[in-house]
Structure 1
Amino acid sequence: MAHLTKIKLLDSTLREGEQSSGVCFSLEEKIEIAKHLESFGVDIIEVGHPGISQLEEEVCKKVCEQIKNMETLVHARACKTEILSAHNTGANWVGIWASFNPISLETKFTNKSKEWVKEQVLSSILFAKELGLKVRFTIEDASRTSFEIIEEIAQITNQAGVDRLSLADTVGAWNPQKCYQMVKFAVKNFNCEIEVHLHNDFGLALANAHSAIEAGASIIDVSVLGIGERAGICDLFQMSASLAYFYDDVSFNFKETKYLKDIVARISTFIPEPHRPIVGKNAFIHSSKYHAKANSKNYKAYEFLSPELFGYERKLLPQEYVRESKLRFSNEFKVGNPFVKSAAELKYHRHGVGDRWVHIDSRVDERSPVYIIERLFHEDYVGSYEPHVDTHAHNCDSIFVFMGNNVDGSGLNVKVTLGNETKIIKSPASVFIPAELTHNYEYISGTGRFLNFVMSPSYNKSLL
C-alpha cells in the first residue's frame, strides 16, 4: 500500500518520554539518544521544554547543537517568555500548544475565557514567526474538543501563518474512526501540514496513526518503545516498520533498532514485555513444534516481519509441555529449601573450588522470577584451582556480589571480566552485568562467598 506523501516521524522520546514516571535523561544521555535517532532516520526530534528553567534551556540548546542533519523542535506555552527561551536554543521549530475545551478552560486557565486563550495563541504565534521560528501549533486534548471550536482555531492559525497543526489525543480517547473524522476535518480547514500526537491508553495509538495517515495527516509523533505519560504514545519501531512494510518507506536504518531499544530501556528501567512487537525477546521465537518445523523449511511459513532487518535473529525453540500440579499465581507463604548443586549443571560452568548452593529458582519455588546461587569458599585455595567459568552472556541483567569472611566483608579476591575489560576485585564488591554483555569471574584467593543474581527463573534458559 503506497502513499503519495512522505510520512514524517517526529520522535518525542526526549520530551514526551520524560513524562513517563521516573524518567529523566541526563544531558549526555539525551545527546546519545538524539544522535542514534538521527542515524535511525526520524525526520524531526522533539528536544524538550526549555521554558521550564534556565537549566532546561541550556540542556535543549546543547542537544540542538549536536543534531546536524535533521530538524529540531522545542516546546513552549503560549507566552512570549517561553517563545524567547525556545528561540535561544537554536531549534528550528517551536511547538506552541493550548487547549480550548470546557474541561481545559476550567482546570488549566482558571478564570480565563476562551477568547483570552485565543488572543494569547495568536500573539505567541506571530511573535515566534517574527523571531524566524517555524511554528507547530498543538490543539491539546483535540480528541475531546468540538468540531466548532476546532474550526474557530483554524481561523486564528491560518491568519497567523502556522506551518503545522498538531492534533493531540492527550488522553487517548480516540478510536480509528473518530481519529479519521477529526483529521479529515483538519485537513480541510487548516492551511498547513497536519500532525497527530496519539496516546495509547486503549492500545490504539498505532491503529489511530494509520487512520490519521489515510485521512491526510503527514506527521506522526512517536517515541522509543512508546514511552510517555501514562500508557505512552505511538512506538517508533512499530510505526516505522509498518511504514516500511505497508507504505514502501525505505528511509529507515533499522540496524539502530536494538541499540536504541537497549539504551532507552536501561535508562528508563523499562523492560519491554516478551511479546512486544519487534523488540520483545519472544518476537522472533517459534516455540510450537508444528510452526518450528515449517519455519525450518521456509521462515515465511510463520513469519511476516524479518528479524534480520532489525538486527535480531529468529530462533526455532520447539518446547515440550509438562503439565505439573502448580499454582504459580498463589500468594501462599512458602518457605523454599535451597540445595547444594554442582556447577556442572550449568552451561559454561565446570566443577571448581568451594560449595555451590542454589538459593532460589523455579525448582525451589515455581513462582520465582530470579535465579540466585551462592558459592562458599571455606579455605584459601590459592594456587590449587583451575578457572571453572567460561565467558558467557544472558538475555537479562544479572549481578555479582562478593563478600569476604572478615567482619568488614574483606578477605576475598577475584578477577572479573565484563565485555573487553578485566579487573582484579577485592571484597566487599558488587558488579552489575547488563543483559547480553559477555562476562566471567575467576577466584584468586581468600575466603568468603560469591552470590550471583540472574533475572530469570532458569539459568540455562537465560543464556544467549
Structure 2
Amino acid sequence: MILFQNIRFLDTTLRDGEQTPGVALSTEEKLLIAQKLDDLGISTIEAGSAITSAGERESIKAITAEGLNAEICSYCRVMKPDVDYALECDVDSIHLVVPVSDLHINVKLRKDRETVRRMAMDVTEYAKDHGLIVELSGEDASRADLDFLKSLYTSGIDAGADRICFCDTVGLLVPEKTGTIFKDLSSSLSVPVAIHCHDDFGLAVSNTLSALRNGAQEAHMTINGIGERAGNTSFEEVVMALEWLYRYNTGIKCDEIYKVSRLVSRLTGIAVAVNKSLVGANAFTHEAGIHVHGLIADTSTYEPMKPEMIGRQRKVVLGKHAGKSSVTLALKELGLEADASQLNEIVSRVKELGDHGKKITDSDLQSIAETVLEIYRESKVNLEEFTVVSGNKITPTASVKLRLNGDNVVEAGIGDGPVDAAINAIKKAIAGVADIQLEEYHVDAITGGTDALVEVIVKLSKDGRMVTSRGARTDIIMASVEAVLNGINQLMQE
C-alpha cells in the first residue's frame, strides 16, 4: 500500500491566496509573508504571476533577492512572454498551467487538444532551455479525459518537465476518485506528481490527503485555506493531519503555524472563522464545566492535541455553561483562591451573567471574585433582605434587613434615587453600631450593553479611617449595596 513518500509543499498564498476577492498585498507585505513561509520550512513559494503587472514583478523580485531557502516560483500560462517575465524576476521555477478539460480547451482557449499539447511542450522546452524548473499543471484536470491528460503529461515530461500537477480547479473531486487517479498517475509517470485542490465542496483537505496517501509527492496549499471562491486547501489542516493523525514527519516547524496564520489574516484582511479547525479562535477554547473538569484531569479528554504544537495556548472562557472546574482554573490564572462557599457564589454570579448572553472576561471575573472574597471575609454585617421602590412621581424608597452582630435589624431610607435611598437605609440600620460616611462613589460598566456587568467602587470612612471597596453585579443598585456592605465590614474589623 502506498503511504506518504517524500512529501513537499508548494504554498500559493501569495498567488492563488491573493486572488481572493478584495485582497491586494504590497511588496513589503508579500516579502514578510514569504519570509515566514520560508521559516516554516515550505519547499516552494509561489510568489505570484510575473505577467500580472509591474508591481507584481517588483514583489517577486524582492522575494527572490532575499536569498530564501525555499524554491521561488512564478505562475505562468502556456505563453512564452509569461516565461520571459518570470525570468526577469530571477525565479527558480515556473508553475506552468495548461487547460486540459475539453470545456476549457474549446470554450476558454478556442483550440483543440493537439494544439494545446504542442503549446505545452513548446513552452516547457523554452523554460528548460532558460534554466528554469518546470512544474506542469493540468488546469481543470478533474473534468478532463484521463487518457488525454496522461498523454499530455507524458509529452510534457519528454519536453523536460520536472514535476506534474493535477488541478481540481472547481473542487469536484471526491477522496475515493482522487485515490484511484493518483495511484494511476504516480505509477505511470516518471516524475513526482502534485495535487492542487479548491474547496468548493469542502473536500480540498480530504482530497489532498487522499492524493498524498496514493502516491502524490507534493501538495499545493494556502495559509488559512484562502483563495478564490471557497478557497484552496488549508495548509495548517493538511500539515497537522499528516503530523498528528498519520504520524508523518513533514519537516514543517509546526509551532510557528499559528503565528503565520494570524499574520496572513491581518495582512490580507480575511478574518479566520472562529470555529475553523486548529487556527480558529475557538479551536482550543473551552467553556462547558464538564469539559474543563476533564481537561484539569487530562487535557487529552477534550483536546485532540496540545495547542502548543501549533504555537497556541489553551483558553477557558466563562459563561452560563461554566462549572466549578472552569472558574477554579480561571481564578488560579488570576492568582486568586476561593473556598467552597466562595466558589459557589462566584459560579452563581458567572452563570447569572451568562444567562444574559455575556462572555465573562478576566476583568469581569476578577471584579466578581474580589467582591465575593471580601463578602465572605468574616462579615459582621450581612444583607438578609432588600427592597427598593422608585419611579415617576414616587420618592425613591429602600428597605433593608441586615444581620448585624447576630441580630436582625430592619430599616428604611429615602434618597434622590434608588441607589441613594439604599445607601441611606443601610447607614440608618448600622447607626447604633457605627457612624459610616460615604466619601466617594464611582461606577463603571465592565462589559458592554444595557445588561452589562457594572462595578461600583465606593470610598467609606469611620473615625478617620478610610477604605475603598467594590461590588460587581448586572444590577447597579445591588452592586452599590454590595460595595457599601463590603466597605462597612472592612471598617468594622477589629
- Could you say whether these structures have the same fold, taking a TM-score greater than 0.5 normalized by the shorter chain as the test? yes
Distance in 2 (alpha carbons) for counterparts of 1:353 and 1:160: 83
Letter in 2 for 1:215: N
C-alpha separation between the residues in 2 aligned to 1:156 and 1:360?
65
Tell me what 2:139 maps to. 140
Which string of whole-angstrom CA distances, capped at 9 and with x for unpartnered residues, describes residues 35-60 of structure 1? 01111111111101001233322321
1:45-444 mapped onto 2 (5 Å cutoff): 45-110=45-110, 112-245=111-244, 246-249=246-249, 251-317=251-317, 319-321=319-321, 361=449, 363=451
Cα shift readout 1:181-230 (whole Å, capped 9, x = no counterpart): 22222213322110010111111111111100111001001111010011
Pairwise CA distance, 1:154: 2.7
* Residues 136, 153 of structure 2: 8 Å contact kept: no
Deviation at 1:161, TM superposition (A): 2.1
CA contact (8 A) 2:9 2:220 kept: yes
In structure 2, C-alpha distance between the alignment counterparts of 1:61 and 1:320, rounded to whole Å: 54
Counterparts in 2 of 1:354 and 1:78: CA distance versus 1, 3 Å: farther
CA distance in 1, matches of 2:445, 2:240: 46
Matched letter for residue 78 of structure 1:
V
Is the 2:73–2:92 contact (alpha carbons within 8 Å) kept by the matching residues of 1? Answer: yes
8 Å Cα contact 1:2-1:248 kept in structure 2: no
Give the CA RMSD over aligned residues: 3.1
Q: Amino acid of the residue matched to residue 64 of structure 1?
A: T
1:109-152 CA-to-partner distances (Å, cap 9, x unmatched) read 12x22222111111000000100111000000001111122122
Assess if the C-alpha contact under 8 Å between 1:140 and 1:169 holds in 2: yes
Q: CA offsets, 1:359-413, max 9 Å, x none?
A: 963748xxxxxx9x9xxxxxxxxxxxxxxxxxxxxxxxxxxxxxxxxxxxxxxxx
Unmatched runs of 5 consecutive residues or more in structure 2: 322-350, 358-362, 369-439, 455-494
1:95 shift after superposition:
1.0
Aligned pair in 2 of structure 1 residues 159, 345: CA closer, same or farther (>3 Å)? Answer: closer
Count of aligned pairs between the two proteins: 348
Cα distance between partner residues in 1 of 2:317 and 2:126: 60
Give me the TM-score of the superposition, normalised by structure 1. 0.69
What is the CA–CA distance in structure 2 between the aligned matches of 1:39 and 1:80, rounded to whole Å? 32
- Note the C-alpha offset of 1:323: 11
Rounded Cα–Cα distance in structure 1 between residues aligned with 2:113 and 2:72: 30
What's the offset of the Cα at 1:286?
2.5
Structure 1: gaps of 5 or more residues? 329-343, 365-370, 374-464
C-alpha deviation, 1:153, in angstroms:
0.7
Structure 1 residue 357: deviation in Å? Answer: 7.9
Q: Determine helix, strand or coil for the equivalent of 2:58.
A: helix
Q: Which moved more, 1:79-88 or 1:132-141?
A: 79-88
Name the amino acid aligned to 2:80: K
| CA distance in 2 between partners of 1:250 and 1:121 (Å) | 32
Query: Contact (CA 8 Å) 1:296, 1:316: kept in 2 or not?
Result: no
Matched to 1:142, the amino acid is A
Question: Conserved in 1, the CA contact under 8 Å of 2:35 and 2:68?
Answer: no
Asked whether the 8 Å contact 2:4–2:248 carries over to 1, the reply is no
CA distance in 2, matches of 1:235, 1:32: 20
Deviations 1:412-437 (A, max 9, x none): xxxxxxxxxxxxxxxxxxxxxxxxxx
Give 2:86's aligned amino acid.
A
Secondary structure of the structure 1 residue equivalent to 2:183:
helix
Query: Is the helix fraction higher in 1 or 2?
Result: 2
Query: 1:36 is matched with which residue?
Result: 36
The letter for the 1-side match of 2:309 is L
Any idea what SS the aligned residue of 1:267 has?
helix
Task: For 2:217 and 2:51, locate their aligned partners in 1 and report how far apart those are by CA, in whole Å.
Answer: 28
In structure 2, distance between residues paired with 1:181 and 1:239: 20
8 A contact 1:18–1:24 mirrored in 2: yes
CA apart distance, 1:70: 1.6
Q: Is the CA contact (8 Å cut-off) linking 2:364 and 2:446 kept in structure 1?
A: no
- CA contact 1:78–1:121 (8 Å) conserved in 2: yes
Q: Structure 2 length normalisation: TM-score?
A: 0.65
TM-superposed CA distance for 1:356, in Å, is 6.9
Alpha-carbon distance between aligned partners in 1 of 2:27 and 2:102, rounded to the nearest angstrom: 38
- Contact (CA 8 Å) 2:41, 2:251: kept in 1 or not? yes
Whole-Å Cα distance in 2 between the matches of residues 160 and 226 of structure 1?
Answer: 33
What's the CA shift for 1:312? Answer: 1.4
Are the aligned partners of 1:222 and 1:236 in contact in 2 as well (CA < 8 Å)?
yes
